[in-house]
Structure 1
Amino acid sequence: MSAEDVERARTGDWSIVLIGREPVDRSWLPTDLTGKDVLCLASGGGQQGPILAAAGARVTVFDNSPRQLGQDRMVAVRDGLELRTVLGDMRDLSAFGDATFDVVFHPVSNLFVPDLAPVWRECFRVLRPGGTLLAGFLNPDAYLFDHEALDERGELVVVHKLPYSDVTQYSAEERAAKFGADAPLEYSHTLTGQIGGQLAAGFVVTGFAEAPHQSNASAQYMSNYFATLAVKPC
Protein backbone atom coordinates (compact mmCIF):
# COMPACT_ATOMS: atom_id res chain seq x y z
CA MET A 1 0.00 0.00 0.00
CA SER A 2 1.62 3.21 -1.15
CA ALA A 3 1.65 6.55 0.64
CA GLU A 4 -0.10 7.99 -2.42
CA ASP A 5 -2.97 5.49 -2.02
CA VAL A 6 -3.35 6.50 1.61
CA GLU A 7 -3.31 10.20 0.79
CA ARG A 8 -6.02 9.74 -1.85
CA ALA A 9 -8.12 7.81 0.67
CA ARG A 10 -7.97 10.80 3.00
CA THR A 11 -9.73 12.84 0.31
CA GLY A 12 -12.40 10.18 -0.29
CA ASP A 13 -10.79 8.60 -3.36
CA TRP A 14 -10.27 4.99 -2.31
CA SER A 15 -11.08 1.38 -3.02
CA ILE A 16 -10.32 -1.96 -1.35
CA VAL A 17 -10.41 -5.55 -2.57
CA LEU A 18 -12.50 -8.29 -0.97
CA ILE A 19 -12.12 -10.98 -3.65
CA GLY A 20 -10.09 -11.25 -6.85
CA ARG A 21 -8.61 -8.00 -8.08
CA GLU A 22 -11.66 -5.79 -8.56
CA PRO A 23 -12.58 -3.26 -5.85
CA VAL A 24 -15.49 -4.17 -3.63
CA ASP A 25 -18.76 -2.43 -4.48
CA ARG A 26 -18.70 0.81 -2.47
CA SER A 27 -22.42 0.42 -1.80
CA TRP A 28 -21.50 -2.52 0.44
CA LEU A 29 -19.81 -0.13 2.86
CA PRO A 30 -21.17 2.90 4.76
CA THR A 31 -21.34 6.03 2.62
CA ASP A 32 -19.36 7.88 5.28
CA LEU A 33 -16.83 5.85 7.26
CA THR A 34 -15.95 8.70 9.61
CA GLY A 35 -16.12 7.39 13.16
CA LYS A 36 -17.28 3.93 12.13
CA ASP A 37 -15.73 1.03 14.05
CA VAL A 38 -14.37 -1.47 11.52
CA LEU A 39 -12.88 -4.89 12.23
CA CYS A 40 -10.59 -6.18 9.50
CA LEU A 41 -10.85 -9.89 10.34
CA ALA A 42 -7.96 -12.14 9.29
CA SER A 43 -7.06 -9.20 7.08
CA GLY A 44 -3.49 -8.29 8.02
CA GLY A 45 -0.93 -7.28 5.44
CA GLY A 46 -1.17 -3.51 5.28
CA GLN A 47 -3.80 -3.39 2.54
CA GLN A 48 -7.43 -2.83 3.55
CA GLY A 49 -6.95 -1.61 7.13
CA PRO A 50 -4.80 1.44 6.36
CA ILE A 51 -7.10 2.57 3.54
CA LEU A 52 -10.18 2.32 5.74
CA ALA A 53 -8.38 4.20 8.51
CA ALA A 54 -7.36 6.94 6.08
CA ALA A 55 -11.00 7.16 4.97
CA GLY A 56 -11.99 8.02 8.54
CA ALA A 57 -12.87 4.69 10.16
CA ARG A 58 -11.66 3.53 13.56
CA VAL A 59 -9.92 0.37 12.41
CA THR A 60 -8.88 -2.77 14.25
CA VAL A 61 -6.89 -5.31 12.25
CA PHE A 62 -7.16 -8.82 13.71
CA ASP A 63 -4.91 -11.58 12.37
CA ASN A 64 -3.01 -14.66 13.58
CA SER A 65 0.20 -13.62 11.81
CA PRO A 66 2.55 -11.22 13.62
CA ARG A 67 4.29 -10.59 10.32
CA GLN A 68 1.07 -9.56 8.59
CA LEU A 69 0.09 -7.30 11.46
CA GLY A 70 3.54 -5.76 11.29
CA GLN A 71 2.77 -4.63 7.75
CA ASP A 72 -0.28 -2.74 8.99
CA ARG A 73 1.71 -1.09 11.76
CA MET A 74 4.43 -0.13 9.31
CA VAL A 75 1.96 1.64 7.01
CA ALA A 76 0.22 3.28 9.98
CA VAL A 77 3.49 4.70 11.32
CA ARG A 78 4.69 5.76 7.88
CA ASP A 79 1.50 7.61 7.04
CA GLY A 80 0.41 8.83 10.47
CA LEU A 81 -2.69 6.64 10.75
CA GLU A 82 -4.56 5.63 13.89
CA LEU A 83 -4.96 1.87 13.60
CA ARG A 84 -5.03 -0.92 16.18
CA THR A 85 -3.64 -4.41 15.58
CA VAL A 86 -4.64 -7.49 17.57
CA LEU A 87 -3.11 -10.97 17.32
CA GLY A 88 -5.54 -13.87 17.51
CA ASP A 89 -7.61 -16.66 15.96
CA MET A 90 -10.60 -15.64 13.83
CA ARG A 91 -12.73 -18.20 15.67
CA ASP A 92 -12.20 -16.47 19.02
CA LEU A 93 -12.95 -12.75 19.21
CA SER A 94 -13.16 -12.68 23.01
CA ALA A 95 -10.77 -9.71 22.94
CA PHE A 96 -13.84 -7.67 21.93
CA GLY A 97 -17.12 -7.10 23.69
CA ASP A 98 -20.58 -7.62 22.25
CA ALA A 99 -21.77 -5.03 19.72
CA THR A 100 -18.34 -3.40 19.31
CA PHE A 101 -18.16 -2.89 15.53
CA ASP A 102 -20.23 -1.38 12.73
CA VAL A 103 -18.48 -3.34 9.97
CA VAL A 104 -16.56 -6.62 9.79
CA PHE A 105 -14.40 -6.88 6.66
CA HIS A 106 -13.33 -10.51 6.18
CA PRO A 107 -11.41 -11.18 2.94
CA VAL A 108 -10.57 -14.68 1.69
CA SER A 109 -9.00 -16.43 4.68
CA ASN A 110 -11.45 -18.83 6.30
CA LEU A 111 -10.03 -21.69 4.22
CA PHE A 112 -7.49 -21.96 7.06
CA VAL A 113 -9.99 -23.04 9.74
CA PRO A 114 -11.76 -26.43 9.83
CA ASP A 115 -15.10 -25.18 11.20
CA LEU A 116 -16.77 -21.96 10.09
CA ALA A 117 -19.58 -21.85 12.65
CA PRO A 118 -17.47 -20.17 15.37
CA VAL A 119 -16.29 -17.54 12.88
CA TRP A 120 -19.82 -16.53 11.90
CA ARG A 121 -21.09 -16.63 15.50
CA GLU A 122 -18.29 -14.35 16.66
CA CYS A 123 -18.82 -11.95 13.76
CA PHE A 124 -22.49 -11.73 14.65
CA ARG A 125 -21.73 -11.17 18.32
CA VAL A 126 -19.23 -8.33 17.88
CA LEU A 127 -21.35 -6.45 15.34
CA ARG A 128 -23.83 -3.83 16.43
CA PRO A 129 -27.46 -4.23 15.31
CA GLY A 130 -27.62 -3.02 11.72
CA GLY A 131 -23.91 -3.74 11.28
CA THR A 132 -22.58 -5.44 8.18
CA LEU A 133 -20.30 -8.38 7.43
CA LEU A 134 -18.41 -8.42 4.13
CA ALA A 135 -16.98 -11.91 3.63
CA GLY A 136 -14.90 -13.33 0.79
CA PHE A 137 -14.23 -17.02 0.27
CA LEU A 138 -13.04 -19.54 -2.29
CA ASN A 139 -15.40 -21.40 -4.58
CA PRO A 140 -15.24 -24.92 -3.08
CA ASP A 141 -14.98 -26.38 -6.59
CA ALA A 142 -11.47 -24.93 -6.85
CA TYR A 143 -10.33 -27.80 -4.66
CA LEU A 144 -11.45 -30.47 -7.11
CA PHE A 145 -8.32 -30.14 -9.21
CA ASP A 146 -4.74 -31.33 -8.96
CA HIS A 147 -2.91 -28.07 -8.37
CA GLU A 148 0.41 -29.23 -9.75
CA ALA A 149 -1.24 -30.04 -13.09
CA LEU A 150 -3.17 -26.77 -12.92
CA ASP A 151 -0.26 -24.51 -11.98
CA GLU A 152 2.46 -26.14 -14.06
CA ARG A 153 0.59 -27.24 -17.19
CA GLY A 154 -2.75 -25.46 -17.06
CA GLU A 155 -4.58 -28.80 -17.02
CA LEU A 156 -7.82 -29.32 -15.12
CA VAL A 157 -7.45 -32.79 -13.63
CA VAL A 158 -10.13 -33.76 -11.10
CA VAL A 159 -8.56 -35.70 -8.24
CA HIS A 160 -10.16 -34.56 -4.97
CA LYS A 161 -13.51 -35.27 -3.39
CA LEU A 162 -15.38 -32.38 -1.78
CA PRO A 163 -15.43 -31.09 0.86
CA TYR A 164 -11.64 -31.09 0.70
CA SER A 165 -9.23 -31.07 3.64
CA ASP A 166 -5.44 -31.25 3.67
CA VAL A 167 -5.77 -33.41 6.79
CA THR A 168 -7.89 -36.12 5.16
CA GLN A 169 -6.35 -35.93 1.70
CA TYR A 170 -2.68 -36.32 2.68
CA SER A 171 -0.62 -37.84 5.47
CA ALA A 172 1.62 -35.52 7.49
CA GLU A 173 4.61 -36.74 5.49
CA GLU A 174 2.85 -36.16 2.18
CA ARG A 175 1.76 -32.66 3.24
CA ALA A 176 5.30 -31.73 4.24
CA ALA A 177 6.70 -32.97 0.93
CA LYS A 178 3.98 -31.35 -1.17
CA PHE A 179 3.41 -28.02 0.57
CA GLY A 180 6.31 -27.60 3.00
CA ALA A 181 6.53 -28.37 6.70
CA ASP A 182 5.22 -24.96 7.80
CA ALA A 183 2.38 -24.57 5.30
CA PRO A 184 -1.02 -23.88 6.90
CA LEU A 185 -3.75 -26.49 6.54
CA GLU A 186 -6.53 -25.71 4.06
CA TYR A 187 -10.20 -26.70 4.03
CA SER A 188 -12.58 -26.18 1.10
CA HIS A 189 -15.80 -25.92 3.15
CA THR A 190 -19.23 -26.08 1.54
CA LEU A 191 -21.61 -23.34 0.47
CA THR A 192 -23.84 -24.54 3.29
CA GLY A 193 -21.01 -23.78 5.69
CA GLN A 194 -20.18 -20.46 4.07
CA ILE A 195 -23.60 -18.99 3.32
CA GLY A 196 -25.85 -21.24 5.38
CA GLY A 197 -23.53 -20.74 8.33
CA GLN A 198 -24.03 -16.98 8.19
CA LEU A 199 -27.80 -17.45 8.08
CA ALA A 200 -27.65 -19.88 11.02
CA ALA A 201 -25.69 -17.32 13.02
CA GLY A 202 -28.53 -14.83 12.54
CA PHE A 203 -27.36 -12.79 9.56
CA VAL A 204 -29.52 -11.70 6.65
CA VAL A 205 -27.56 -12.02 3.39
CA THR A 206 -28.29 -9.00 1.20
CA GLY A 207 -25.53 -9.12 -1.43
CA PHE A 208 -23.51 -11.62 -3.45
CA ALA A 209 -20.60 -11.29 -5.88
CA GLU A 210 -18.21 -13.49 -7.86
CA ALA A 211 -14.70 -13.00 -9.25
CA PRO A 212 -12.17 -15.07 -11.21
CA HIS A 213 -8.64 -16.00 -10.18
CA GLN A 214 -6.79 -14.15 -12.91
CA SER A 215 -3.76 -16.46 -12.98
CA ASN A 216 -5.65 -19.75 -12.70
CA ALA A 217 -6.59 -21.85 -15.75
CA SER A 218 -9.93 -22.77 -14.16
CA ALA A 219 -11.03 -19.11 -14.39
CA GLN A 220 -12.11 -19.65 -18.00
CA TYR A 221 -14.73 -22.09 -16.75
CA MET A 222 -15.91 -20.74 -13.40
CA SER A 223 -15.60 -18.01 -10.81
CA ASN A 224 -12.97 -18.87 -8.22
CA TYR A 225 -14.08 -16.44 -5.52
CA PHE A 226 -17.42 -15.62 -3.93
CA ALA A 227 -18.36 -12.75 -1.62
CA THR A 228 -21.37 -12.04 0.54
CA LEU A 229 -22.77 -8.94 2.20
CA ALA A 230 -24.71 -9.78 5.35
CA VAL A 231 -26.53 -7.63 7.90
CA LYS A 232 -27.12 -8.17 11.60
CA PRO A 233 -30.82 -7.34 12.05
CA CYS A 234 -31.76 -4.45 14.32
Structure 2
Amino acid sequence: MTESEQSLERAEQKAKQWWESWSDTFQQAYDEAETEVGIAFGPGVPNGDDLGLFGDIDGKRAIELGCGGAQFGLALSKAGAEVTGVDISENQLAHARDLADKHDEDIDLIEASVTDMPMVSDASYDLAFSAFAFQWVNDIQSCFSEAHRVLKSGGKLVFSVDHPFYRCLNPETGELAVSYFTDSPRREYSEEFDAEMIVYRRTVSEIVTALLEVGFSIEELREPGYEDPEKYESEFGGFQPDRMARIPPTLVIAAEK
Protein backbone atom coordinates (compact mmCIF):
# COMPACT_ATOMS: atom_id res chain seq x y z
CA MET A 1 0.00 0.00 0.00
CA THR A 2 1.39 3.41 -0.97
CA GLU A 3 1.75 6.29 1.49
CA SER A 4 -1.14 8.06 -0.24
CA GLU A 5 -3.37 5.00 0.08
CA GLN A 6 -2.45 4.64 3.76
CA SER A 7 -3.33 8.30 4.32
CA LEU A 8 -6.74 7.84 2.68
CA GLU A 9 -7.41 4.72 4.75
CA ARG A 10 -6.57 6.56 7.99
CA ALA A 11 -8.86 9.43 6.99
CA GLU A 12 -11.70 7.01 6.29
CA GLN A 13 -11.20 5.28 9.63
CA LYS A 14 -11.39 8.64 11.42
CA ALA A 15 -14.57 9.53 9.54
CA LYS A 16 -16.15 6.22 10.46
CA GLN A 17 -15.15 6.58 14.13
CA TRP A 18 -16.71 10.05 14.30
CA TRP A 19 -19.93 9.08 12.53
CA GLU A 20 -20.34 5.93 14.65
CA SER A 21 -19.77 7.87 17.87
CA TRP A 22 -22.10 10.72 16.91
CA SER A 23 -24.91 8.50 15.56
CA ASP A 24 -27.16 8.29 18.63
CA THR A 25 -26.89 12.01 19.40
CA PHE A 26 -27.45 12.93 15.76
CA GLN A 27 -30.54 10.76 15.40
CA GLN A 28 -31.93 11.98 18.71
CA ALA A 29 -31.73 15.53 17.35
CA TYR A 30 -33.76 14.40 14.34
CA ASP A 31 -36.39 12.88 16.62
CA GLU A 32 -36.61 16.00 18.79
CA ALA A 33 -37.02 18.18 15.70
CA GLU A 34 -39.87 15.90 14.59
CA THR A 35 -38.43 15.72 11.06
CA GLU A 36 -38.42 11.94 10.88
CA VAL A 37 -38.67 11.45 7.12
CA GLY A 38 -38.40 13.98 4.33
CA ILE A 39 -36.40 15.54 1.53
CA ALA A 40 -33.89 17.83 3.25
CA PHE A 41 -30.90 19.18 1.35
CA GLY A 42 -29.86 21.52 4.15
CA PRO A 43 -30.22 25.08 5.47
CA GLY A 44 -31.79 27.44 2.97
CA VAL A 45 -33.74 24.72 1.20
CA PRO A 46 -37.33 24.20 2.38
CA ASN A 47 -37.94 20.71 3.74
CA GLY A 48 -39.68 18.58 1.14
CA ASP A 49 -38.41 20.63 -1.81
CA ASP A 50 -36.23 18.76 -4.32
CA LEU A 51 -35.68 22.05 -6.22
CA GLY A 52 -37.06 20.34 -9.32
CA LEU A 53 -33.83 18.38 -9.68
CA PHE A 54 -35.15 14.82 -9.36
CA GLY A 55 -37.94 14.69 -11.89
CA ASP A 56 -40.41 11.80 -11.73
CA ILE A 57 -38.94 9.18 -9.37
CA ASP A 58 -41.88 6.78 -9.27
CA GLY A 59 -40.56 3.35 -10.19
CA LYS A 60 -36.97 4.59 -10.47
CA ARG A 61 -33.98 3.00 -8.73
CA ALA A 62 -32.25 5.44 -6.38
CA ILE A 63 -29.15 5.12 -4.18
CA GLU A 64 -28.46 7.42 -1.23
CA LEU A 65 -24.74 7.96 -0.63
CA GLY A 66 -23.98 8.59 3.05
CA CYS A 67 -27.54 7.87 4.13
CA GLY A 68 -27.19 8.00 7.92
CA GLY A 69 -30.65 7.20 9.26
CA ALA A 70 -32.04 7.22 5.70
CA GLN A 71 -34.63 9.93 6.40
CA PHE A 72 -34.12 11.31 2.88
CA GLY A 73 -34.12 7.90 1.23
CA LEU A 74 -37.31 6.84 3.00
CA ALA A 75 -39.04 9.96 1.69
CA LEU A 76 -38.17 8.90 -1.86
CA SER A 77 -39.26 5.35 -1.10
CA LYS A 78 -42.65 6.70 -0.01
CA ALA A 79 -42.80 8.56 -3.33
CA GLY A 80 -42.42 5.30 -5.24
CA ALA A 81 -38.67 4.92 -5.76
CA GLU A 82 -36.78 1.69 -5.15
CA VAL A 83 -34.15 2.91 -2.69
CA THR A 84 -30.77 1.67 -1.50
CA GLY A 85 -28.91 3.44 1.30
CA VAL A 86 -25.13 3.29 1.71
CA ASP A 87 -23.32 4.41 4.84
CA ILE A 88 -19.97 3.76 6.50
CA SER A 89 -21.52 3.53 9.98
CA GLU A 90 -23.14 0.37 11.32
CA ASN A 91 -24.80 2.41 14.07
CA GLN A 92 -26.39 4.82 11.61
CA LEU A 93 -27.67 1.93 9.50
CA ALA A 94 -29.25 0.39 12.62
CA HIS A 95 -31.22 3.62 13.03
CA ALA A 96 -32.16 3.46 9.34
CA ARG A 97 -33.49 -0.09 9.72
CA ASP A 98 -35.59 0.88 12.73
CA LEU A 99 -37.00 3.91 10.90
CA ALA A 100 -37.77 1.87 7.77
CA ASP A 101 -39.65 -0.67 9.91
CA LYS A 102 -41.55 2.10 11.66
CA HIS A 103 -42.69 3.52 8.32
CA ASP A 104 -43.27 0.09 6.80
CA GLU A 105 -40.91 0.86 3.92
CA ASP A 106 -38.68 -1.71 2.24
CA ILE A 107 -35.25 -0.27 1.41
CA ASP A 108 -31.88 -1.97 0.98
CA LEU A 109 -29.09 -0.85 3.32
CA ILE A 110 -25.39 -1.42 2.68
CA GLU A 111 -22.47 -0.79 5.04
CA ALA A 112 -19.69 0.57 2.82
CA SER A 113 -17.66 3.64 2.03
CA VAL A 114 -19.10 5.82 -0.73
CA THR A 115 -15.62 5.73 -2.25
CA ASP A 116 -15.66 1.95 -2.72
CA MET A 117 -18.89 0.01 -3.30
CA PRO A 118 -17.87 -3.24 -5.05
CA MET A 119 -21.13 -4.91 -4.01
CA VAL A 120 -23.14 -2.42 -6.09
CA SER A 121 -23.45 -3.33 -9.78
CA ASP A 122 -22.39 -1.05 -12.62
CA ALA A 123 -25.07 1.05 -14.34
CA SER A 124 -27.83 -0.12 -11.99
CA TYR A 125 -29.41 3.13 -10.72
CA ASP A 126 -31.35 6.02 -12.24
CA LEU A 127 -30.52 8.43 -9.42
CA ALA A 128 -27.74 8.84 -6.88
CA PHE A 129 -28.32 11.45 -4.18
CA SER A 130 -26.77 12.74 -0.98
CA ALA A 131 -27.39 15.46 1.60
CA PHE A 132 -24.61 17.04 3.67
CA ALA A 133 -22.32 14.00 3.60
CA PHE A 134 -19.60 14.59 1.03
CA GLN A 135 -17.75 17.24 3.07
CA TRP A 136 -16.68 14.37 5.36
CA VAL A 137 -15.26 12.38 2.43
CA ASN A 138 -11.51 12.76 1.96
CA ASP A 139 -11.27 11.12 -1.47
CA ILE A 140 -14.02 13.01 -3.29
CA GLN A 141 -12.70 11.92 -6.70
CA SER A 142 -13.28 8.24 -5.85
CA CYS A 143 -16.69 9.10 -4.44
CA PHE A 144 -17.77 10.78 -7.68
CA SER A 145 -16.20 7.98 -9.73
CA GLU A 146 -18.23 5.36 -7.84
CA ALA A 147 -21.42 7.39 -8.25
CA HIS A 148 -20.73 7.62 -11.99
CA ARG A 149 -20.07 3.87 -12.19
CA VAL A 150 -23.31 2.76 -10.53
CA LEU A 151 -25.52 5.13 -12.54
CA LYS A 152 -27.17 4.21 -15.79
CA SER A 153 -26.43 6.30 -18.87
CA GLY A 154 -28.42 9.50 -18.45
CA GLY A 155 -28.67 8.93 -14.69
CA LYS A 156 -28.34 11.83 -12.25
CA LEU A 157 -26.20 12.58 -9.23
CA VAL A 158 -27.84 15.22 -7.00
CA PHE A 159 -26.14 16.26 -3.77
CA SER A 160 -25.71 19.05 -1.25
CA VAL A 161 -22.77 20.14 0.90
CA ASP A 162 -21.93 23.04 3.16
CA HIS A 163 -21.38 26.06 0.97
CA PRO A 164 -17.57 26.39 0.87
CA PHE A 165 -17.59 30.13 1.49
CA TYR A 166 -20.05 29.95 4.39
CA ARG A 167 -17.72 27.55 6.19
CA CYS A 168 -14.86 30.05 5.96
CA LEU A 169 -16.63 32.07 8.65
CA ASN A 170 -16.06 31.76 12.38
CA PRO A 171 -19.17 29.92 13.67
CA GLU A 172 -19.28 32.12 16.77
CA THR A 173 -18.59 35.61 15.38
CA GLY A 174 -19.38 35.29 11.69
CA GLU A 175 -16.06 36.93 10.83
CA LEU A 176 -13.94 35.51 8.03
CA ALA A 177 -11.74 32.96 9.78
CA VAL A 178 -9.82 31.27 6.96
CA SER A 179 -9.08 31.89 3.31
CA TYR A 180 -11.60 30.51 0.82
CA PHE A 181 -8.63 28.93 -0.94
CA THR A 182 -7.24 26.96 2.00
CA ASP A 183 -7.26 23.20 1.63
CA SER A 184 -6.62 22.57 5.32
CA PRO A 185 -9.57 20.62 6.75
CA ARG A 186 -11.57 21.90 9.71
CA ARG A 187 -10.91 19.67 12.73
CA GLU A 188 -12.91 19.43 15.96
CA TYR A 189 -12.15 16.92 18.71
CA SER A 190 -15.02 15.83 20.96
CA GLU A 191 -14.18 14.57 24.43
CA GLU A 192 -17.76 13.31 24.76
CA PHE A 193 -17.38 11.02 21.74
CA ASP A 194 -13.59 10.57 21.98
CA ALA A 195 -13.43 11.20 18.23
CA GLU A 196 -12.31 13.90 15.85
CA MET A 197 -14.59 15.41 13.24
CA ILE A 198 -12.77 16.33 10.03
CA VAL A 199 -14.54 18.49 7.47
CA TYR A 200 -12.74 18.83 4.13
CA ARG A 201 -12.61 22.20 2.44
CA ARG A 202 -13.07 22.45 -1.33
CA THR A 203 -13.86 25.44 -3.51
CA VAL A 204 -16.87 25.29 -5.81
CA SER A 205 -14.55 25.01 -8.81
CA GLU A 206 -12.72 22.05 -7.23
CA ILE A 207 -16.01 20.20 -6.73
CA VAL A 208 -17.14 20.92 -10.29
CA THR A 209 -13.76 19.93 -11.75
CA ALA A 210 -13.80 16.61 -9.87
CA LEU A 211 -17.25 15.85 -11.30
CA LEU A 212 -16.18 16.69 -14.84
CA GLU A 213 -13.00 14.62 -14.57
CA VAL A 214 -14.91 11.40 -13.83
CA GLY A 215 -17.28 11.96 -16.75
CA PHE A 216 -20.28 13.89 -15.37
CA SER A 217 -21.79 16.91 -17.06
CA ILE A 218 -23.15 19.66 -14.80
CA GLU A 219 -26.89 20.21 -15.10
CA GLU A 220 -27.59 22.63 -12.27
CA LEU A 221 -25.70 24.46 -9.55
CA ARG A 222 -27.90 26.05 -6.89
CA GLU A 223 -27.17 28.32 -3.93
CA PRO A 224 -30.63 28.45 -2.32
CA GLY A 225 -31.52 30.89 0.41
CA TYR A 226 -33.48 33.94 1.46
CA GLU A 227 -32.61 37.57 2.10
CA ASP A 228 -35.05 37.61 5.03
CA PRO A 229 -33.52 36.02 8.18
CA GLU A 230 -36.99 35.17 9.50
CA LYS A 231 -37.45 32.59 6.74
CA TYR A 232 -34.71 30.41 8.24
CA GLU A 233 -35.78 27.88 10.81
CA SER A 234 -32.55 26.48 12.28
CA GLU A 235 -29.45 27.68 14.07
CA PHE A 236 -27.99 24.16 14.20
CA GLY A 237 -24.23 23.83 13.85
CA GLY A 238 -23.39 27.49 13.36
CA PHE A 239 -26.13 28.04 10.77
CA GLN A 240 -27.53 31.33 12.07
CA PRO A 241 -30.39 33.16 10.28
CA ASP A 242 -28.77 36.61 10.14
CA ARG A 243 -25.65 35.13 8.62
CA MET A 244 -27.48 32.81 6.22
CA ALA A 245 -29.47 35.77 4.90
CA ARG A 246 -26.18 37.28 3.68
CA ILE A 247 -24.23 34.21 2.53
CA PRO A 248 -25.70 31.00 1.07
CA PRO A 249 -25.28 28.16 3.60
CA THR A 250 -25.83 25.28 1.19
CA LEU A 251 -24.55 24.30 -2.25
CA VAL A 252 -26.67 21.89 -4.32
CA ILE A 253 -25.37 20.35 -7.55
CA ALA A 254 -27.09 18.14 -10.11
CA ALA A 255 -24.88 16.27 -12.59
CA GLU A 256 -25.71 13.79 -15.37
CA LYS A 257 -23.86 10.71 -16.57
TM range (shorter): 0.7 to 0.9
Identity of aligned residues (%): 21
The structure 1 residue matched to 2:151, chosen from 127, 141, 147, is: 127
How far apart are 1:177 and its partner, in Å?
6.7
TM-score normalised according to structure 2 size = 0.72
Matched residue, 1:183: 196
Local SS of the residue matching 2:93:
helix
Q: Pick closer, same or farther for the CA change 1:195–1:103 going to 2, 3 Å.
A: same
Whole-angstrom CA distance in 2 between matches of 1:19 and 1:130: 26
Verify the 8 A CA contact 1:140 1:163 in the aligned structure 2: no
How far apart are 1:164 and its partner, in Å?
4.3
Q: Pick closer, same or farther for the CA change 1:177–1:224 going to 2, 3 Å.
A: same
Q: Pick closer, same or farther for the CA change 1:32–1:134 going to 2, 3 Å.
A: closer
Gaps spanning 5+ residues in structure 2: where?
A: 1-29, 226-231
How far apart are 1:103 and its partner, in Å?
0.4
TM-score normalised according to structure 1 size = 0.79
Q: Pick closer, same or farther for the CA change 1:32–1:97 going to 2, 3 Å.
A: closer
Matched residue, 1:55: 79
Q: Pick closer, same or farther for the CA change 1:42–1:32 going to 2, 3 Å.
A: closer
Number of aligned pairs? 211
Whole-angstrom CA distance in 2 between matches of 1:31 and 1:45: 24
Local SS of the residue matching 2:161:
strand
Gaps spanning 5+ residues in structure 1: where?
A: 7-13
The one-letter code matched in structure 2 to 1:191 is V
Flag as ranges the 4+ runs of structure 1 deviating above 6 A.
177-180
Whole-angstrom CA distance in 2 between matches of 1:24 and 1:198: 24
Whole-angstrom CA distance in 1 between matches of 2:191 and 2:206: 27
RMSD value over aligned CA atoms?
2.8
The structure 2 residue matched to 1:207, chosen from 192, 216, 220, is: 220
Whole-angstrom CA distance in 1 between matches of 2:190 and 2:128: 36
Whole-angstrom CA distance in 1 between matches of 2:109 and 2:211: 25
Whole-angstrom CA distance in 1 between matches of 2:68 and 2:196: 18
Matched residue, 2:50: 25
Matched residue, 1:9: none
The one-letter code matched in structure 2 to 1:183 is E
Local SS of the residue matching 1:140:
coil
Matched residue, 1:224: 249
